[in-house]
Structure 1
Amino acid sequence: MPSKKTAKKAKKVASKRAPKAAKYVYSFGKKTDGNAKMKNLLGGKGANLAEMARIGLPVPGGFTITTDVCVEYYKNGRVYPAALKGQIATAIKICEKESGKKFGDQKNPLLFSVRSGARESMPGMMDTILNLGLNDKTVEALKVKSGNGRFAYDCYRRFVQMYGDVVMGVQSRTENEPDPFEHALHLVKKEVGVTIDSDLTEENNKEVIKRFQKLIKDRTGGAFPQDVQKQLDGAVSAVFNSWENERATLYRQKYGIPAEWGTAVNVQLMVFGNLGDTSATGVAFTRDPANGENVFYGEYLINAQGEDVVAGVRTPFPIAQLADDMPKSHKELSVVRKKLEKHFGDVQDFEFTIEDGKLYMLQTRNGKRTGLAAVRIAVEMTKQRLMTQQTAVTKIPADQISSLLVPIFDTNAIKKAKLMATGLPAGPGAASGKIVFNAADAEKEVALGNSVVLCREETSPEDLRGMIASDGILTSRGGVSSHAALVARQMGKVCICGASDIHIDYASATLTAGKIVLKEGDSISIDGTTGEIFAGSVATAPSEVSQVLAGKMKAEKSYTFQMFNQIMKWSDKYRTMGVRTNADSPEQSKSAVSMGAEGIGLCRTEHMFFEGDRISYMREMILAPSVAARKAALKKLLPFQRKDFNGLFKAMEGRPVTIRFLDPPLHEFLPHDDASRRDLAEHLGVSPEIVSDRVRALHEENPMLGHRGCRLGISYPEITEMQARAVFEAAAQVLKLKRKIKVKPEIMIPLVGFKDELDNQVAIVHRVAAEVQKAKGVKIDYLVGTMLEVPRACVTSAEIAKTAQFFSFGTNDLTQTTLGMSRDDAGSFLSKYKDLDIIPQNPFATLDQEGVGSLVKQGVDGGKSTNPDIKLGICGEHGGDPASIKFCHNAGLSYVSCSPNRVPVARLAAAQAAIEAEA
């Protein structure tokens, strides 16, 4: 039998060999384990608490339970790792040693706050508990220790209410029932004749606590826990459980925060702003988060705890007033403000408490800010050398840059407006105008000098004229990638889609929402940034940046424009991808160029066929009984197309122009109602039956997968020939102008899935190009490529690239064909899919990187394998989405193309992607 000494030695060796348990708890305070770089593990709040402690700021000590615990908690059926309990116990002992207090002690009790802390700030989304550790006995100890009975029982009242709500689930049972705790509190205040919580005496608070505890017993069948360890266990579990509450889930979905990240839990020593008139609590920003001005911004309350500031029960004071109320603390906060900005290199949003004249810092995080503030802060902090240019570019959420361009509703006017419904914000900005239900009336009203909002159940290409005329577009169906949304964004139109509470009745020419009924000609206002719809007219105001870009204001008179322009210059300096625009007219092109577009990545030629008399000639071509008749109709369309391309080439002044040949199925150009069909028959000199028969013959069960794109050009080569001739003749005209303008047409053949399809169409294009160049005596620098929008094209891209000189990924249709989802109909189930985290983001707004993205990568790799010099771009709506742009950069694309008003967003996002890739 081994000796005791041998056994002890063997045990020691075995313990060294045994794997160490994972570290789940990190302390901060006098003993600090973490730092700001550990955000993924400690959450933003925990990492920054550790960092503030490290740099010597007055942080109450505590500990952070890591995000790994949250992940394991959900993974294991809400069961904690075995090692967690012991690590928490050790951390509590450290807190007790640092504070000189003891958890649950009846002489000098230690109290905690328990708060959430995800990687990304989610203010107000998850649960918080304050004053944990109080019970019927420790509250008396707190009273004796502080010498203030009102304060002690005020804390206990707050704790019982928070714990009963958050942990024990005592909440309103119906929508109409008031909060049970607030109701009980209100009754006591009414009985004793006070209106403010802080006016309650010790005895008043005791009565409230008594009623709260009875309420908990009645509602839950269990007593409020007196065991402080059980209190802590319950609070920690409540915070982890709140990671999946409804509001947190919705917030994560809105801002793209993955569910698998989890949250940390921060347990921190309580400090008290409700100790009397020498104590206070507040929230402050190191700069104004609304406009970015470099001023100390925030508010505070004397004799209060943190939730009082945000609850709105008492009106807080501006932080500047603290200089009079507590000059020493204000001076200390001013020093802290500068230290935080210098150390973290960004605007900070921080919470503080002043306990009996002593300042404590409870948390800090990068402050949320408006788009205007983000730009100003980035520019000014760079000038102050608090940021580098690269950091400044990355600190502005790319989507927010567009808020500097769109018109907005006047602040005072919106307060008086009548909200009638909400929909999906599809085109940012604000618009007011008369209600019209069709394109013709839209044009008619605008000709009379009126502003209009085109209201449709859904739009089609036939509505294009009305969309062009309208200030705003409202649909009761469709999603943010519907036709209305796509075209609206391209044209910079204000748009709301999918407003399901709106009922449109074309027969009675009415628009109804609940009890509000508006008729055609009545005024309506829509906010495409928020999705809000108002009855009546609401005044708007253009942004300064828009005025400067339109030449209506001098740049030197707008500080906002100067800041915007600086960010754009820095973006162009660091990005490596080109940024083009989707545009069909010279006006759109010029607007896009003013915003920094370097070319046209997508010109949809079908939109050109709806203007003026062109639709009649287009319909004549479609209904032609023979090839000769079809060519005759196309001959009438040729001058119009040539003129359009001429205008585009001039507007782009040598920049590349990618022209997609006819893509949609022909039936979309034909009238759908009997009256319009009769009018067309009369115009063409044929019977209405012939028109109806042709419409029926062109009907397709699934037109998205039918006779469209290159299939039209192969079936009717004369269409491809006419469009090619229009392109090259327009190029020749511009090349022969006295003022030298270069022309760079790039002809894009749509919906190719087979190399032979592309070969067929390219042969026509080259033949016509040769004929025109010979006839006009010019040399035209042009490319011919294809749009990759069906999976087969991506899979066989190596073969297709032997013919194609460029690829442009049409990710709208590629998403539809890959996922088997219609962008117009997916709205009926996408919200459920997002709730269940099956699809984290709308795949028609943000690229599905795992599925569609893998096909894009396959297309890129295949194309480069056989054509190393191939130009690669994207022209779907994803070209204006920051997350998708980052993917495009990493996938090796040459450029992205987006709507004109999204060009600044794309420039900034492309720069951010390049900077991040180099980091």
Structure 2
Amino acid sequence: MPKFVYDFTEGNKDLRDLLGGKGANLAEMTNLGLPVPPGFTITTEACRTYLADRTVPAEEIATHLAKLEATMGKRLGDAEDPLLVSVRSGARFSMPGMMETVLNIGLNDDSVLGLAAQSGNERFAWDSYRRLIQMFGKTVLGIDGERFEEALEELKAGRQDLDLDAADFRRLVDVYKEIVKQERDREFPGDPREQMELAIRAVFDSWHAPRAVLYRRQERIPDDLGTAVNVVAMVFGNLGMDSGTGVAFTRDPATGQRGVYGDYLQNAQGEDVVAGIRNTIPLQELERIDPTSHHELLDIMARLEGHYRDLCDIEFTIERGKLWMLQTRVGKRTAAAAFRIAVQLVDEGLIGIDEAVLRCTGQQLAQLMFPRFTEGAANTLLTTGMNASPGAAVGQAVFSSERAVELAARGEAVILVRRETNPDDLAGMIAARGVLTSRGGKTSHAAVVARGMGKTCVCGAEELEVDTKGRRFTVNGTVVEEGDVISIDGTSGAVYLGEVPVVPSPVVEYFEGEEPAGELVAAVHRIMTHADESRRLAVRANADNPEDAARARRFGAQGIGLCRTEHMFLGDRRQLVEDLILAENPRERQSALDALEPLQKADFAGIFAAMTGLPVTIRLIDPPLHEFLPDLVDLSVKVATGAGTEKDERLLAAVKRLHEQNPMLGLRGVRLGLVIPGLFAMQVRAIAQAAREAGKARAEIMIPLVGAVQELESVRDEALKILDEVGVHALIGTMIEVPRAALTAGQIAEAAQFFSFGTNDLTQMTWGFSRDDVEASFFGKYLDLGIFGVSPFETLDRDGVGRLMRIAVAEGRATRPDLKLGICGEHGGDPDSVRLCHEIGLDYVSCSPFRVPVARLEAGRAALAGAESDTR
């Protein structure tokens, strides 16, 4: 029989899968001898069992509760001297605010009197009781939290929380109990054991709460992990002004700067800090308020950072001058902080450079490449808040999560403005370009979640008077209505009226060739240098013109992995394509081809010049020819109404002749080269002539959409003759984008010198749906149902498409050991997909120019992660 419950003394930080991050770290701090309240953890395995059959390990929980009661010398909910506990979630991966917590379990109409007597503080006892009913009612009983908030605001009548006395909170308890009875037709449960069991079940159930599911999807956290539950003896920060609660970071999570950062609230419980319902004071103020606790906290923070070898995020409570540690974890940080901290830790001797590279992700690097606001803009500065998560965000002000989602779905940029955010705002935070709040500090819900998502955030802008019902905010006499454009600077905390112009980030300027200047760019330079030294995968770019090719080279591309020639047939050249399609005899067709050839040659010459000495893979024309002709409906109307010419009639006949019900599966790719005489030959000749004149060109000719080796052989033979006539050497290969090509790769490799996986088409043909239509049809439902964790057009499907790729690699290299292998679909710049390409043995990945640095970093990380696993 599996063990479902662990005392804090039984675990450690390496049991995160079983105990969740919070439980594992509570156990680790207990083992280190730090002041942690006693408690126990119900495992993630118990959660998975509960979600399957709705049972909890009641006997084990009772045994550990009895042990906890013995340790504390109190019984849960005892009328004379009650033990109170918190029930808190704690998954393998941090999901701040996404699942449930219930504090003060064990209070009822009798034990609240015992708590008041033992503490000597009646106000504290009734405050704790009203908190229990409020959290329990919302979390466990599913009552709208606004009911409780409205009752609290009505009671306060303009007063602050700290102005309320014991009698106020006692009246509030009665109001809250009546709300429970009205909403759920039952009394608030007074049995402490029932409270605890219902709270445990609620935490387990919250694993499938919509906001938790949405967060996991956003962060790509698996859905089948489950959450642990931590039952902890309560310690109280709301016992008076000599008590309090806070959150601390061992370094600034926004910038990475060394120092002590955090927020503290006197006479409060932990949820008050993260919810941002009352503005905090800086952690440094604790030295004045309670120097003994402040000194002890700093010592513990230094010890934890050294132990975990990373930025630590710490929750603590001070109970009448006694410091208690409630949680620690490796802290979420901004992209800039990630790079700075990684390099700092190397310089401090805590980690090696390999580990530093592994801690900096391609996603974070992409965030650093976002533009920033120009300095000295003439826009009106409305106010300045806390710089909680950097970036430059511009959009319409909106005041509800629902409105943010609605407008973002229409392609409009929005800034979500709230007094403070809560977990129910997650969908709006994801949809918005940035988040602005009037309350809360750098450890508030808005700040923590925004940093984790790389979303720009300014919080605690106290001058803002936010009217969510009126859909407006007022600041210093200026009224900003919903729909008005604002700009927020998450680096400085500035909030501007209107759209502020943006300029390239310094990281992009570095990749463009400027010398590394400044701490951040210097950190990026060190990480990128080691990633490049470590990676096995080469990185190329997808580029169709000299400008993109030159930019890609500046960004570190080692060649072009995909040059799409169809883009060269648009604009003024469309007329020549029409002439080719309308040709009624070989002479007319050749005339059109002869006109296109010098234009193609010039195209390739410019690209070869930009990529001198580096490989350039050119894909011969791929899409259906009818895409270069006028729209069928428009042309039919024109001819039917008599407005068309004789040529329009001929065009209409051609459009009808070429029209296909499913053109993605029709006359395109290699089939065009076989059916339209001279088309591929013209392109090959233009490539060869441009390469010969360029001198140091390394051309690679790629035949698209091959499904049978005979197709490739036919085109290859003609191409080789042309190359021989011109006197140029070029590799000839194919795109693997048809499932049959992957399954017959051994045969195809007999005629191909290289494979490049066209994973856009390979994905849609493997799954049987169109990448052009699927996002607007059923993808949302599939994501909701968990069929997709992430779009297979965004990240490679390892089990399906990935398996086809593995087959093609193995069978292709078995036939031709020197076969060159790459990928040129959009997945070539996706971090997870780059790792798969490394694992299966590709030689290079190719992606858009601006994603080249991301691919370089992820290729280095993949190599280092593989080396690390090999040494274990």
Range of TM-score over shorter length: 0.7 to 0.9
Provide Cα deviations, 1:575-597, integer angstroms capped at 9, x if missing partner.
Answer: 22111111111211121122221
Q: Distance in 2 between matches of 1:850 and 1:297?
A: 44
Which of these residues, 39, 48, 67, is aligned with residue 62 of structure 1?
A: 39
Q: Distance in 2 between matches of 1:677 and 1:629?
A: 28
Residue in 2 that maps onto 1:542: 504
- The answer on whether the counterparts of 2:544 and 2:567 sit within 8 Å (CA) in structure 1 is yes
Residue in 1 that maps onto 2:389: none
Matched, 1:392 2:369: no
Q: Distance in 1 between matches of 2:486 and 2:584?
A: 46
Q: Distance in 1 between matches of 2:705 and 2:827?
A: 18
Q: Distance in 2 between matches of 1:547 and 1:915?
A: 27
Residue in 2 that maps onto 1:434: none
Structure 1 residues 418, 260: CA separation in 2 closer, same or farther (over 3 Å shift)? closer
Matched, 1:820 2:784: no
Structure 1 residues 516, 52: CA separation in 2 closer, same or farther (over 3 Å shift)? closer
> How is 1:7-26 mapped onto 2 (pairs within 5 angstroms)?
21-26=1-6
> How is 1:764-803 mapped onto 2 (pairs within 5 angstroms)?
764-773=718-727, 780-803=728-751
Q: Distance in 2 between matches of 1:426 and 1:752?
A: 37
C-alpha displacement at 1:842, in angstroms?
0.7
Structure 1 residues 597, 556: CA separation in 2 closer, same or farther (over 3 Å shift)? closer
Matched, 1:626 2:585: yes
Q: Distance in 1 between matches of 2:253 and 2:374?
A: 20
Q: Distance in 1 between matches of 2:836 and 2:596?
A: 40
- The answer on whether the counterparts of 1:408 and 1:429 sit within 8 Å (CA) in structure 2 is no
C-alpha displacement at 1:206, in angstroms?
0.8
- The answer on whether the counterparts of 2:340 and 2:519 sit within 8 Å (CA) in structure 1 is no
Q: Distance in 1 between matches of 2:812 and 2:143?
A: 61
Residue in 1 that maps onto 2:55: 79
Which of these residues, 57, 63, 68, is aligned with residue 90 of structure 1?
A: 63
Structure 1 residues 524, 600: CA separation in 2 closer, same or farther (over 3 Å shift)? farther
Q: Distance in 1 between matches of 2:151 and 2:559?
A: 66
- The answer on whether the counterparts of 2:395 and 2:487 sit within 8 Å (CA) in structure 1 is no
The alignment partner of 1:846 has SS state of coil
Structure 1 residues 563, 427: CA separation in 2 closer, same or farther (over 3 Å shift)? farther
Residue in 2 that maps onto 1:4: none
- The answer on whether the counterparts of 1:309 and 1:316 sit within 8 Å (CA) in structure 2 is yes
Matched, 1:591 2:591: no
The alignment partner of 2:370 has SS state of coil
Tell me which amino acid in the other structure corresponds to 2:520.
Answer: T
Residue in 2 that maps onto 1:653: 612
Residue in 1 that maps onto 2:135: 162
Residue in 2 that maps onto 1:300: 264
Which of these residues, 860, 863, 869, is aligned with residue 914 of structure 1?
A: 863
The alignment partner of 2:711 has SS state of helix
Residue in 2 that maps onto 1:616: 575
- The answer on whether the counterparts of 2:516 and 2:525 sit within 8 Å (CA) in structure 1 is no
Residue in 1 that maps onto 2:151: 184
- The answer on whether the counterparts of 2:510 and 2:516 sit within 8 Å (CA) in structure 1 is no
Structure 1 residue runs of 5 or longer lacking an equivalent are 1-20, 173-178, 431-513, 518-522, 528-533, 736-741, 774-779
The alignment partner of 2:262 has SS state of strand
Provide Cα deviations, 1:764-802, integer angstroms capped at 9, x if missing partner.
Answer: 1111100000xxxxxx44211110111110111111111
Residue in 2 that maps onto 1:809: 757
> How is 1:706-785 mapped onto 2 (pairs within 5 angstroms)?
706-735=666-695, 742-773=696-727, 780-785=728-733
Residue in 2 that maps onto 1:498: none
Which of these residues, 274, 287, 291, is aligned with residue 251 of structure 2?
A: 287
Provide Cα deviations, 1:852-902, integer angstroms capped at 9, x if missing partner.
Answer: 111111111111221121111111111111111111111221111111111
Residue in 2 that maps onto 1:205: 169
Provide Cα deviations, 1:125-183, integer angstroms capped at 9, x if missing partner.
Answer: 001001111111111111111111111111111011111111112216xxxxxx11111
Structure 2 residue runs of 5 or longer lacking an equivalent are 376-380, 383-391, 399-405, 416-480, 490-495
Q: Distance in 2 between matches of 1:219 and 1:561?
A: 56
Residue in 2 that maps onto 1:871: 820
How many residues align structurally?
A: 771
Which of these residues, 887, 895, 901, is aligned with residue 836 of structure 2?
A: 887
Matched, 1:690 2:650: yes
Matched, 1:829 2:778: yes
Q: Distance in 1 between matches of 2:758 and 2:617?
A: 13
The alignment partner of 1:722 has SS state of helix
Tell me which amino acid in the other structure corresponds to 1:107.
Answer: E
Q: Distance in 2 between matches of 1:427 and 1:801?
A: 48
Residue in 2 that maps onto 1:15: none
Tell me which amino acid in the other structure corresponds to 2:846.
Answer: S
Structure 1 residues 230, 849: CA separation in 2 closer, same or farther (over 3 Å shift)? same
Structure 1 residues 127, 277: CA separation in 2 closer, same or farther (over 3 Å shift)? same
Q: Distance in 1 between matches of 2:553 and 2:518?
A: 20
Provide Cα deviations, 1:589-616, integer angstroms capped at 9, x if missing partner.
Answer: 12112222111111111112225x3222
> How is 1:420-459 mapped onto 2 (pairs within 5 angstroms)?
422-423=407-408
Residue in 1 that maps onto 2:186: 222
Residue in 1 that maps onto 2:665: 705
Residue in 2 that maps onto 1:109: 82
The alignment partner of 1:301 has SS state of strand
Which of these residues, 850, 854, 859, is aligned with residue 803 of structure 2?
A: 854
- The answer on whether the counterparts of 1:407 and 1:540 sit within 8 Å (CA) in structure 2 is yes
Matched, 1:669 2:637: no
Q: Distance in 1 between matches of 2:337 and 2:175?
A: 47
- The answer on whether the counterparts of 1:406 and 1:429 sit within 8 Å (CA) in structure 2 is no
Provide Cα deviations, 1:266-314, integer angstroms capped at 9, x if missing partner.
Answer: 1111111111111111112211122211221111101101111122321
C-alpha displacement at 1:42, in angstroms?
0.7
The alignment partner of 2:561 has SS state of strand
- The answer on whether the counterparts of 2:134 and 2:176 sit within 8 Å (CA) in structure 1 is yes
- The answer on whether the counterparts of 2:512 and 2:555 sit within 8 Å (CA) in structure 1 is no
C-alpha displacement at 1:526, in angstroms?
14
Q: Judge which range, 752-761 or 202-211, deviates more.
A: 202-211
C-alpha displacement at 1:686, in angstroms?
5.4
- The answer on whether the counterparts of 2:312 and 2:328 sit within 8 Å (CA) in structure 1 is yes
C-alpha displacement at 1:573, in angstroms?
2.1
The alignment partner of 1:418 has SS state of strand
Structure 1 residues 754, 240: CA separation in 2 closer, same or farther (over 3 Å shift)? same
Q: Normalising by the residue count of structure 2, what TM-score does the alignment of the two structures yield?
A: 0.84
The alignment partner of 1:758 has SS state of helix
Matched, 1:331 2:280: no
C-alpha displacement at 1:416, in angstroms?
8.2
C-alpha displacement at 1:713, in angstroms?
0.5
Residue in 1 that maps onto 2:525: 565
C-alpha displacement at 1:917, in angstroms?
2.1
- The answer on whether the counterparts of 1:127 and 1:238 sit within 8 Å (CA) in structure 2 is yes
The alignment partner of 1:593 has SS state of helix
The alignment partner of 2:87 has SS state of strand
C-alpha displacement at 1:352, in angstroms?
0.9
- The answer on whether the counterparts of 1:113 and 1:270 sit within 8 Å (CA) in structure 2 is yes
Residue in 2 that maps onto 1:897: 846
> How is 1:232-631 mapped onto 2 (pairs within 5 angstroms)?
232-408=196-372, 417-419=395-397, 422-423=407-408, 537-551=499-513, 554-611=514-571, 613-631=572-590
Q: Distance in 2 between matches of 1:252 and 1:574?
A: 31
C-alpha displacement at 1:417, in angstroms?
5.0
Provide Cα deviations, 1:630-679, integer angstroms capped at 9, x if missing partner.
Answer: 22111111112112211212211211111111000011111227589989
Which of these residues, 100, 109, 120, is aligned with residue 73 of structure 2?
A: 100
Q: Distance in 1 between matches of 2:544 and 2:139?
A: 55
C-alpha displacement at 1:415, in angstroms?
8.3
Residue in 2 that maps onto 1:506: none
Q: Distance in 1 between matches of 2:516 and 2:667?
A: 54
C-alpha displacement at 1:525, in angstroms?
11
C-alpha displacement at 1:429, in angstroms?
14
Structure 1 residues 423, 606: CA separation in 2 closer, same or farther (over 3 Å shift)? farther
Q: Judge which range, 781-790 or 417-426, deviates more.
A: 417-426
Q: Distance in 2 between matches of 1:134 and 1:524?
A: 47
- The answer on whether the counterparts of 1:407 and 1:429 sit within 8 Å (CA) in structure 2 is no
Q: Distance in 2 between matches of 1:102 and 1:865?
A: 70
Q: Distance in 1 between matches of 2:625 and 2:792?
A: 28
Identity over the aligned pairs, expressed in percent? 49
- The answer on whether the counterparts of 1:555 and 1:562 sit within 8 Å (CA) in structure 2 is no
